[in-house]
Structure 1
């Protein structure tokens, strides 16, 4: 595997976590405007992406491979929990 192939392999592993974190951050900023007014979009995205990346790694370790439904459920929790925590702390 070439270095470029390795880069794309790793990027595609984390792409669902980063994309879901971006979508959820946009949804939070759109649906909960007053509650999320003090939170900036990059901060929401970064926390969600970090939690989702950790969830992807944990699912890979626990389940042995990527692409299982339990791994995707863990991914959703990994993205949503840090963003929920940020909203609950700001109140």
Structure 2
């Protein structure tokens, strides 16, 4: 595998985490939670993206391969929990 193939594989691995992070930040901005932490939108995107990458990495370690639905479910639960924390959901 060449370096360009490796880059495309890593890009394909990170794409679901980036898509989920972008969707959560966009929906958080549209919902307009007034009691969110003082983190700008790009900070929330970065935090959700990193949480998503960690979740996908853990799912590869536990499940043995990428692309299983359980791994994507874990990605959604982890990113949703991160977004809930960033928007101070416990203070609703």
TM-score normalised to structure 1 length: 0.88
Separation in 2, partners of 1:51, 1:39: 16
Residue 80 of structure 1: how far off its partner (Å): 1.4
Aligned residue pair count: 90
User: Larger deviation: 74-83 or 59-68?
Assistant: 74-83
Deviations along 1:8-30, one digit per CA (max 9) or x if unpaired, are 10111011001110111010011
What are the equivalent positions in structure 2 for 1:3-82 lying under 5 Å apart? 3-36=3-36, 38-82=38-82
Deviations along 1:13-64, one digit per CA (max 9) or x if unpaired, are 0110011101110100111242348431101101110110000000000000
Question: Runs of 5+ in structure 1 lacking a partner?
Answer: none
Runs of 4+ in 1 over 4 A off after TM superposition: none
Separation in 2, partners of 1:11, 1:24: 20
Separation in 2, partners of 1:17, 1:52: 5
Residue 84 of structure 1: how far off its partner (Å): 1.2
The answer to whether the Cα contact below 8 Å between 1:29 and 1:37 also exists between their aligned partners in 2 is no
The answer to whether the Cα contact below 8 Å between 2:33 and 2:87 also exists between their aligned partners in 1 is no
Question: Runs of 5+ in structure 2 lacking a partner?
Answer: none
